[in-house]
Amino acid sequence: MSYDIIITSDRTMMSNHHSNEFLGFLTTSPSMGLPEPIWMWLAAPKVKVDKIGRPIQAPYGLRKIEAALQNAGFKAAIIDPDHIYKHLNKARIVMMGHHDYFALGPPSCEWMMITGREPINARSFCKFMEKFTQAVRNRDIKIVIGGPAAWQWLYVPKLIEKYRVSTIIDGEADKIIAHITQKILNGDSVPKYIQVNLNDTPRLDEIPLIKYPSVNGLIEVMRGCPRGCRFCSVTLRPLRIYTFDMIERELKVNSLAGIRKGILHAEDLLLYGSNGVKPKPEPLIKLHKLVKKYYMSIAWSHVSLSTVKYGQENFKLISKLTEIIYDSGQSWIGVEVGIETGSVKLARRIMPMKTSPYSSETWPEVVEDAFAIMHEHRIIPAATIIIGLPGETEEDVLETIELMDKLKKYRSLIVPMFFVPMGTLKDKNWFKILNIKEVHEELLIKCFKHSIHWAEDILSKFYLKEPYRILLNILLKIVVNYFKFKSRSFLKHYENRF
């Protein structure tokens, strides 16, 4: 079988992370406490492929591009990075997608600043590109770059030349990819950089459905977000809610391939089926009943803390959903949430809608109440805090520290991230390690202590408990102990200063 268009990425993307998406986050840092090959194996093991090198599971975003191209009649397929070389004789275009090509996004850039070492996602991608560029040096193959980290190439213009990139597409490419592909195949000129505008952003009925299984059964149920946080690029896109029929068709693709665990992806999952910022129980209940018909166990990608609180206090929503989710196949659920700040002033200025339907003035209470609700329902959040938001003062950081103290008793991981200019704040300055003040150090230490404490609890009671996953559990414990050991010297240094 030969393909005109190959879609691929490096190993840190083309992996199912031992069927645990959370392990994939280890690709955002350099190896710590373990040799790099073991760290790499733990974070991103090779994925099984068929006879011609097509992975049995591939990243959802790449599956969408594959489906769009196949729907338009192109001979296109996702090929594992180890297997693309045998397809290069026939290929005319190689497309690539990534979450974080050069470790410039959070939290990779922060690990890079703290450790002074390059995270394995960037190392792995550049290693792959060096070999790939050699392999295509005498061939007329066009290289098209896309995905959520496409913007990073603008920071490394030399690599655009070195790696012979023809076109970079920044934004949702589902609707325009076939047109661009045809132009490239015709030999027409195509701009080096394409920013997908609102007219070219796909409507719901223009979003293709995946044809082959996605990594860890991830399926999108909603695209876009109505909350408008100023530091976020998602906010610039319109909201589209998948129909139950679309969701079921993608569930069937994964389920027929034997996938029994899956992630429901949305920027605020609890807004599925609502037409504002207040959750609606009926569509959410129907959604979860549908998904549980196909998956034994599920995770949520993201929820906002205000929907958790509002849903539970007004409709007992969290209790109702966890009653559907929890059964013999599942007793807890993981999710990402954004705290971002404990400062009322910054919440009002940077993310006024994130707190809706509550006022920004109540944001710290909203966060604490939502954490309490999640703790009670065995929902384990991985939460983010942003350090160095534009206009941040010492007072703002102290308010975040105060909030951290209140969250101490709730099972969660809290990850501090340095501000990266994105969304409507993309012309602002990056937060750099040189900008760190004592008050930031205090906040970083609180986050480390909190997360180490709860990581040990989660590893001993919830995560990777199946007997066949014991090795993964042990390796993660080694990593947590390494952090503990390292943070002790940091703590000592800090305690001597205050």
Which residues would be at the binding site for ligand SF4 (CB under 6 A)?
225, 227-229, 232, 234-235, 267-268, 304, 338, 351, 354
Between CA 415 and CA 451 the distance in angstroms is: 8
H-helix or E-strand spanning residue 127? helix 120-135
Q: Which of 398, 21, 463, 36 is nearest to 219 (CA)?
A: 21
Is the distance from CB of 248 to CB of 290 less than 8 angstroms?
yes
For the bound state, the minimum distance from the C-beta of residue 348 to ligand SF4, rounded and expressed in Å, comes to: 14
Comparing CB distances to ligand SF4, the nearer of 265 and 354 is 354
> Residue 339 or 443: which CB sits closer to ligand SF4?
339
Nearer to ligand SF4, 21 or 268 (CB): 268
Nearer to ligand SF4, 180 or 232 (CB): 232
| Least spacing, CB of residue 422 vs ligand SF4, in Å | 9
Quick one: which of 431, 427, 303, 439 has its CA closest to 377?
303
Q: How far apart are CA 396 and CA 343, in angstroms?
A: 5
Q: Output the six-digit token pair for 441.
A: 């150090």
Nearer to ligand SF4, 163 or 419 (CB): 419
Nearest distance from residue 351's CB to ligand SF4, in Å? 6
227 or 377: whose CB is closer to ligand SF4?
A: 227
User: What is the pairing mode between strands 240-241 and 222-223?
Assistant: antiparallel
Nearest to 453 by CA among 389, 395, 410: 410
Give the shortest CB-106-to-ligand SF4 separation in angstroms: 12
Cis peptide before 107 (omega within 30 of 0): yes
In the complex, what is the shortest distance from the CB of residue 274 to ligand SF4, in angstroms, rounded to a whole number?
A: 14
Pick between residue 156 and residue 353 the one whose CB is nearest to ligand SF4: 353
> What's the CA gap between 368 and 52, in Å, rounded?
51
Question: Tokens 């090509």 map to which residue?
Answer: 101
Q: What DSSP state is assigned to residue 6?
A: E
* Least distance CB 367 / ligand SF4 (angstroms): 13
Closest approach of ligand SF4 to the CB of residue 225, in Å: 3
